[in-house]
Structure 1
Amino acid sequence: MKMKNLLKTSIMAIAVVAASGAANAETPVIGKQHPTITNRLMTPEVLWSFGRVGGVQISPDKTKVLYSVSYYSITENKGNSELFVMNTDGSDKKQITKTATREAAAKWMKDGQHIAFLSSETGSMQLWTMKADGSERKQITDVKDGINDFALSPDETKLLFVADVKYGESTVDKYPDLPKSSGIIVTDLMYKHWDEWTKTVPHPFVADIKEGKIANIIDILNGEPYESPMKPFGGIEQLAWSPDGKTVAYTCRKKTGKEYALSTNSDIYFYTLSTGKTENKTQGMMGYDQNPTFSPDGKWLAWESMERDGYEADKNRLFVMNLQTGEKTDLSANFDQNSGSLIWTPDSKSIYFVSCWHAVTQIYRADIASKKIVQITKGDHDYSFVAPIKDKLIGVKHSLSKPDEIYAINPKTGVETEISFENKEILSQLDMGKVEERWITTTDNKQMLTWVVYPPNFDKNKKYPTLLFCEGGPQSTVSQFWSYRWNLQLMAANGYIVVAPNRRGLPSFGKEWLEQISGDYGGQNMKDYFSAIDALAKEPYVNKDKLGCVGASYGGFSVYWLAGHHEKRFKAFLAHDGMFNLPQQYLETEEMWFVNWDLGGAYWDKANAIAQRSYANSPHLFVDKWDTPILVIHGEKDYRILASQGMAAFNAAILRGVPAEMLIFPDENHWVLQPQNGILWQRTFYSWLDKWLK
């Protein structure tokens, strides 16, 4: 339901690439796409042609950048990732892999001449090494069922890797004579998570590297039924080596079942290799504590920390710990913003990080001694990664009009220079719509930032159908995001003006604005939506008789709710993976901390005024007022908001005599990750809107 940052979508999209697995000699290599665009307008097919940049790593001598690019084939219905190396000024760019199998999680080795990476060449993801030019590939691991991610120790004599281990007792364990039974016996909560039945959990392992192979493998969580990294989105960033290679820091929520479902209280643990002892370094800190990173001199630990248990959208604080004294300091105590993607400066005196304010994400630097935080970059964009190199920074950013690319940044002036240009060829053939920042007055006289995206070649003398975009989360910023499904420029290219408000409950506008939504799902944030669309409907170029409303997740809930309250403002609705029946949602979802915090508690708690207000605003209670065509989309592998929610909404519309259509994906989760399903999603999306708004 919640998407804290854009990386989460990227992580889930990688699943499609991973699905390609091993390949035989006849398997085509999926590489860079070269679409020819004659009308300069984006299409779904063009959107899937962009190369997706990620996995940026800086060489030990700070002169080269290693990165991956994922490419997708609509025909093959899958993706592939390849590795590239270039100088930090963008020169001497080389593709160092070109295979039908996936290469991922690549990292420089300390000599700067070799690269360690994961490959599915032998059927499962294993650790390999190669020279920095792509030659002399050598397989290092042969772990059963493969490994998920890894980090070499500083001296490269040991390997820290993540692999899945069996969780709980299976049906076959209990009844060996029924090996073909598909039944799953459930005795506690968290039996499903995101898009899978909970049959395994990831564990961190440490092994010696000897003569190009691994030996003496130790499961750091041996015998413990816990996750590290934490599902569904955690990766190697939740684990870290100390600079002396003697300690592994790892993130873990040491809870299972009902207790796990009710809590977000994770901690940072230190595992000492010489003794096998584990110590909780954040004992008593009650929210999410995750993503530890040691300072280069080994004297400090930095990590991201939330204060309150059960609140997944709490402020993401920047904490440091003096490892000699144990003293913990919140460097962001006077900084009313989130902090993420932490990375130390080489002198161990400062930390670079990214943070969103007023719906744009910039690079910042926090100094340990002074606790001063300085903003480095400016502009309408979102940075998702930063790393210091000598006299400049390397960063990754995107915007509403451009996918991720790599930039070199002057840390003193913030001046940026693009160096990757992965998608220059495609972008040069496209006209993007103008993106306008508007501040709209809400019903309680506050100012709300709203992005307005106009169609390419916009003519103010014409009237355009217009879409209200409802954000998910619910506490997920409408920033300068680039999406491969909910792409606002694609909506604009189809002839729509797009209105995307940062309504109540979204980050980057301060704590009060963020937290107002909890327990008030049908309240002020819905009034904010009306304020935004009503303000734009007054413009002479907006066709107020052709307004549509679209959204996913909490945005889907918003669509369902607005369908019963819009007073004929809209002529078409579209809801993807939305909550329709809140009492049912309370008992269907898996992460109970979410519904307890956001809805206020259980629907049967009649003395709980906040909960009762939430359930009184359940969209299913207002179906009698539905009178506008609605398209429902849902994935049957969505275990956060079950497909029954979408089916119920569709059935209600049909029974009410409201024109309705439903698109169901039996093999998709809370997103749509497969290329041909993505194309079908887009075609259905625009076919429905065009039918009622054009």
Structure 2
Amino acid sequence: MAIRATKFTPSVLLSAPRRSPGIPNADGSLVLYTTHVYSFEDHEKTVEIRVLDVKSNESRLVSRHKELSEPNWLDDETVFLLESDTDGTTNVLVGPIDDFDNQHYVAGEIPAPASNFKLKQVKDGYALAFNALAKPNDELYNPDTAAKPHSTGKLYDSIWVRHWDTYKTQNRAAIWYTTIKKDDSSSSEDSKWTLTHLVNALQGTSLESPIPPFGGTDNFDLSSSGLIFVAKDPDLNQALNTKCNVYLISLSSFTQTTPSAPVKVATKSYDGAATSPVFSPDGRSAAFLAMEKNGYEADRNRVFVILDVNQPVAALHWISREDGDGKFWDRSPSGVTWSADSGTLFLTAEDEGKTSLFAAISSANLPGPVTKLTEDGSITDVRPLTPRQLFITKSSLVDNSTYQYLELPSKNVTTISSASRDGSAFGLSPSQVSEIWYRGASSDTKIHAWVVRPSTYNKNDTYPLAFLVHGGPQGAWTDSWSTRWNPAVFAEQGYITICPNPTGSTGYGQAFTDAIHQQWGGLPYEDLVQGFDYIERHMPDVDTSRAVALGASYGGYMMNWIQGHGLGRKFKALVTHDGVFSMAGQLASEELYFPFHDLGGAPTSAGTRKEWARWDPSLHIEEWKTPHLIIHNELDYRLTISEGLAAFNALQTRGVESRFLTFPDENHWVLKPENSMVWHRVVINWINRYVGLPALCKEEDIFTFATPKEEQDAGAEEERS
């Protein structure tokens, strides 16, 4: 039996299988992937490793265990998996794809939590690189077996005390390497894959890679002769700088117990963040992304290529100024992948509300123009099979995961139908999604917005407005799936959900992104005012007299700013999630380079203090009148909980109807399934109350986890698959 939703509710969203990018075998006939499903009845996550037979369009189970992760191929018949053990160790499991549960074995044990494995075939097996924490003495760190201190005190002599949701310690992220090869002492039929000696590639250095908290496989790569990685500049304080360096480590073999010293790659005049280092398949070259400006995390990424990794004197810019149509290409790529023949670079980049795939085709070792390869949805993973075929994973506003084959140069796409969790599984349809463009704060600025209507939409009816403002602020609403802020969840409550991308958004050119500098409550706010005016005048199916607005992070800041200004009176209710209340509170943030850049510098002079005060929501609380839900989490070290408490206290002392929701165990996001369910219930109940829509659930059911009857009635029915 398969569950097919008749209405897309938070319960359906949070219970739906979450599928990893697909990992095809050598000829693309089989695809490995992982699915995660959370049961609110059992309060438990189920993890399945599955394999899809592309020809038959049938998926079958490889293994099921909540501690399994990171499947990969050793050959077309053998699977490599990780298993997290109860003592914090990581087991490397190997077994046949057709009978893994009965025939797998432990190829080796890593005595610490390990993740982000990459494999590269070498002559006697595979080279492996992975991530695990290292102690100050360069040995593996296992928090489960480490000695526990008798005091909880922490003492610091400089800023960078904590980051994201964790206090800094002397342990640091490191890249480790090893090999896995067949045991030569046994006959070929009985030989097993075995993990060899583990080596810390960063031993004896002060470097940390991947870069916490979000760095992973996009921060390092391996070839048959070495490693390439990015790390923050060790000579600069990370609270004030984004500068990263790219390093190469040469290895005669991956059994080398003492790695060569890392060699820094020169990127003249580029002193910002760097990411996505990747070797070409032939191992001769490497590419990576780097920004020019230190302290600005949303600067435009440029593509660099090291033509010969054996002579990494300097990296070269690898994009011509023009795209395939002769226009200036000013998108900022977020990922880079080499073609199977090492001749082309494939780039993923936001482009007008989508994350598209581009090809940077070169000749004679010279940069070439950029050609756009995809037009819809958002690409999340790219895997070259042949020089003319790519396997891609993507999503959209109504599809949570789709696998496709992309043929070049025709750009023909083949979707693997049974592997696609298309919108019909959730009661959603692409017909619900549309786009609008309207004039922004200035007459020559066009603002893009996504529109998601209910699946039961009738053009003769009117619907309340859910106006969603994204975070960042240098971010964007894209045609992609989300389990945290999903526009379709609001649409299925009976709203027309509109998600604008105002000044500062990414994917519309770097000048548009940069224009939010020292303009937090200026141009973006005016763009939102113009957007609301456009909706009133041009969208008769939207009842703007029943409008609500919601936002998180910078979107939460904007809710607080709107509350104190004219647009705030247009809404029946507001929702702020982890937003800025007082600009002075940003001095408690960990990444101080961020407010220092966006607000014009540190507030250490009268001039800069004036700029900080210019866009301070707390200076306008005398105008706060609209009912307002405040959400703020205790582990949010980027915007501390005092921001949420201060906003709530201001509302309460002014007598404005308000509520405060907090999660002591969540950071800037709400990630735990039960907490996310509570979040959705509180938020939807709040906004529905003010526009005349029924509550998602009864008040007494908000903190219960057997699905309330209201959601059961609207939720799912069983259907034979």
TM-score if structure 2 supplies the norm length?
0.85
Q: Is the 8 A contact 2:400 2:421 kept in 1?
A: no
**What is the 5 A alignment of 1:440-589?**
440-445=438-443, 446-538=445-537, 539-567=539-567, 568-585=569-586, 587-589=587-589
Q: Is 1:315 matched up with 2:315?
A: no
Read off the aligned partner of 1:273 and give its amino acid letter.
Answer: L
Q: 1:595 to 1:306 in 2, by over 3 A?
A: same
Alignment match, 1:434: 432
- Give 1:79 shift: 2.6
- Pairing partner for 2:130 from 161, 165, 181: 161
Which stretch of the first structure deviates more once superposed, 258-267 or 590-599? 258-267
Alignment match, 1:410: 407
**What is the 5 A alignment of 1:138-537?**
138-155=105-122, 156-166=125-135, 179-199=149-169, 200-209=171-180, 211=183, 212-242=193-223, 245-255=224-234, 259-274=237-252, 276-282=260-266, 284=268, 285-323=270-308, 326=312, 328-334=315-321, 335-369=329-363, 371-379=368-376, 381-390=377-386, 391-419=388-416, 421-422=418-419, 424=421, 427-428=424-425, 430-432=427-429, 434-445=432-443, 446-537=445-536
Q: Distance in 2 between matches of 1:141 and 1:618?
A: 55
Q: Is the 8 A contact 1:51 1:423 kept in 2?
A: no
Q: Secondary structure at the match of 1:140?
A: strand
- Give 1:345 shift: 1.4
Alignment match, 1:113: 77
Q: 1:179 to 1:360 in 2, by over 3 A?
A: closer
Aligned length, in residue pairs: 645
Please list the CA deviations of residues 611-655 of structure 1 after superposition, one character each: whole Å capped at 9, or x if unmatched: 632332111111111001000111111111111111110111001
Which stretch of the first structure deviates more once superposed, 201-210 or 438-447? 201-210
Q: Distance in 1 between matches of 2:579 and 2:120?
A: 44
Q: Is the 8 A contact 2:4 2:425 kept in 1?
A: no
Q: Is the 8 A contact 1:465 1:542 kept in 2?
A: yes
Alignment match, 2:715: none
Q: Is 1:53 matched up with 2:34?
A: no
Q: 1:634 to 1:421 in 2, by over 3 A?
A: farther
Q: Distance in 2 between matches of 1:137 and 1:566?
A: 65
Q: Distance in 1 between matches of 2:148 and 2:106?
A: 38
Q: Distance in 2 between matches of 1:623 and 1:90?
A: 62
Q: Distance in 1 between matches of 2:147 and 2:346?
A: 57
Q: Is the 8 A contact 2:70 2:82 kept in 1?
A: yes
Alignment match, 1:130: 95
Q: Secondary structure at the match of 2:606?
A: coil
Which stretch of the first structure deviates more once superposed, 176-185 or 263-272? 176-185
Read off the aligned partner of 1:128 and give its amino acid letter.
Answer: L
Alignment match, 1:6: none
Please list the CA deviations of residues 180-199 of structure 1 after superposition, one character each: whole Å capped at 9, or x if unmatched: 32222222222211111122
**What is the 5 A alignment of 1:666-685?**
666-685=664-683
Read off the aligned partner of 1:510 and give its amino acid letter.
Answer: G
Q: Secondary structure at the match of 1:680?
A: helix
Alignment match, 1:96: 62
- Give 1:508 shift: 1.3
Q: Secondary structure at the match of 1:93?
A: strand
Q: Is the 8 A contact 1:126 1:139 kept in 2?
A: yes
Q: 1:541 to 1:486 in 2, by over 3 A?
A: same
Unpaired stretches in structure 2, ≥5 consecutive residues: 139-145, 184-192, 253-258, 322-328, 693-721
Q: Distance in 2 between matches of 1:357 and 1:623?
A: 37
Alignment match, 2:716: none
- Give 1:333 shift: 4.6
Read off the aligned partner of 2:242 and give its amino acid letter.
Answer: T
- Give 1:160 shift: 2.0
Read off the aligned partner of 1:247 and give its amino acid letter.
Answer: G
Q: Secondary structure at the match of 2:685?
A: helix
- Give 1:112 shift: 2.7
Which stretch of the first structure deviates more once superposed, 120-129 or 401-410? 120-129
Q: Is the 8 A contact 2:525 2:558 kept in 1?
A: yes
Q: Is 1:85 matched up with 2:51?
A: yes
Q: 1:316 to 1:283 in 2, by over 3 A?
A: closer
Q: Is the 8 A contact 1:251 1:266 kept in 2?
A: yes
Q: Distance in 1 between matches of 2:493 and 2:225?
A: 57
Q: Is the 8 A contact 1:520 1:613 kept in 2?
A: no
Please list the CA deviations of residues 9-38 of structure 1 after superposition, one character each: whole Å capped at 9, or x if unmatched: xxxxxxxxxxxxxxxxxxxxxxxx94454x
Q: Is the 8 A contact 1:201 1:225 kept in 2?
A: no
Read off the aligned partner of 2:492 and give its amino acid letter.
Answer: A
TM-score if structure 1 supplies the norm length?
0.88
Unpaired stretches in structure 1, ≥5 consecutive residues: 1-32, 170-175
Q: Is the 8 A contact 1:400 1:482 kept in 2?
A: yes
Q: Distance in 1 between matches of 2:543 and 2:58?
A: 51
- Give 1:425 shift: 8.3
Q: Is the 8 A contact 2:160 2:168 kept in 1?
A: yes
Please list the CA deviations of residues 295-343 of structure 1 after superposition, one character each: whole Å capped at 9, or x if unmatched: 1222211111112111111112222111166453322352211223322
Q: Distance in 2 between matches of 1:471 and 1:272?
A: 43
- Give 1:281 shift: 1.4
Provide the identity percentage: 28
- Give 1:682 shift: 0.6
Q: Distance in 2 between matches of 1:306 and 1:149?
A: 24
Read off the aligned partner of 2:318 and give its amino acid letter.
Answer: L
- Give 1:259 shift: 1.0
Q: Distance in 1 between matches of 2:540 and 2:179?
A: 69
Alignment match, 2:640: 642
